Amino acid sequence: MRIDILTLFPEMFESPFGSSIIKRAQEKKLVKINLVNLRDFALDRHRQADDYPYGGGAGMVLKADIVIRAIQALRSPECKVVYLTPQGKVLNQALVKKMAAWAHLILLCGHYEGIDERCQTVIDEEISIGDYVLTGGEIPAMVVTDAVVRLVPGVLGSDEAHTEESFGSGLLEYPQYTRPRVVSGLEVPPVLVSGDHQAVRRWRKKMSLKRTLLKRPDLLLQREFDPEERELLEEILFSREGQDEG
Ligand code: 4FV
């Protein structure tokens, strides 16, 4: 997978992409991330990439001629150009899965008041990471890159599976426990040390359902349930639960 990130501040990406999983994915050539400075496409000797807004008003606007020139230089037949903006579709795991299937992604990072509207001629998708305003599109581009790259086959090792994680199944993830067995007098739920894999699988599915019901009931509204999940939901809703239910 190829990811080109168009930004005025390529240095912001060095540390997030310089360690752990994203770094390893690049070393294993599973993903190629290019940090591209928008200023490199400015033709004037001051390499000016932004200017005052026509019609007046505060802040600066990224110049369309530079953005368009940059994207025309980078794009390929199979690429998708994504502009990070609060006006975009709000990112979720379903959208991340869709993007992870693309061979070539160009992420355009806005700054200041945003970009000249005529850049829309070279933009395929607008994506927002949430309904709040940031200083620039750089951190959203990091979020998108991290979420997408970890779904690229081979990036996550076996011990980092993404199958049973939150939103993978449309439910929140079940509680995790590790050594030591007792912490602050709190025991690990016995089922998890029972060796009964079926019972563990069922307990984890029940906990995912229960947590989703308690923390994100909205996620349950858009979801089908298999017979076992129906049974577990009835148990949760209609029977008294013991403490070790986690
Ligand atoms: C943003 C978001 C975001 C808006 C003005 C950059 C800033 C400045 N991008 N999801 N939320 N962008 O706040 O994607 O140009």
pLDDT tens by residue, 1-50: 999 999 999 999 999 999 889 999 999 999 999 999 999 999 999 999 99
Q: What percent of the chain has pLDDT over 70?
A: 93
Ligand 1 pocket mutation pick from 61, 83, 84, 138 by most atoms within 8 angstroms of CB: 84
- Determine the Cα angle at 32 with ends 18 and 44, to 5°: 90
| Least confident among 26-35, 96-105, 216-225 | 216-225
Flag whether the pTM goes above 0.85: yes
Distances 122 to 68, 97, 115, 116, 129 between C-alpha atoms, Å: 7, 23, 12, 12, 21
| Average pLDDT value for residue range 48-69 | 95
pLDDT confidence tier of residue 111, bands split at 50, 70 and 90:
confident
137: CA distance to ligand 1 center in Å? 5
* Closest residue by CA, ligand 1 atom 15: 111
- Return the pLDDT at 51: 95
- Return the pLDDT at 245: 52
111 lines ligand 1 (CB under 6 A): yes
pLDDT confidence tier of residue 223, bands split at 50, 70 and 90:
confident
| Least confident among 99-103, 197-201, 220-224 | 220-224
110 lines ligand 1 (CB under 6 A): yes
86: CA distance to ligand 1 center in Å? 5
23: CA distance to ligand 1 center in Å? 25
Ligand 1 pocket mutation pick from 128, 138, 139 by most atoms within 8 angstroms of CB: 128
81: CA distance to ligand 1 center in Å? 16
pLDDT above 70 (res 243) = no
pLDDT confidence tier of residue 159, bands split at 50, 70 and 90:
low
| Average pLDDT value for residue range 92-96 | 94
- Return the pLDDT at 241: 54
- Return the pLDDT at 167: 73
pLDDT tens-place string over residues 138-152: 999 999 999 999 999
What's the CA gap between 228 and 54, in Å, rounded? 60
Distances 207 to 34, 46, 200, 214, 240 between C-alpha atoms, Å: 41, 59, 10, 10, 15
53: CA distance to ligand 1 center in Å? 18
155: CA distance to ligand 1 center in Å? 28
Atom of ligand 1 nearest to the CA of 111: 15
pLDDT tens-place string over residues 162-217: 655 667 778 999 999 999 999 999 999 999 999 999 999 999 999 999 999 999 99
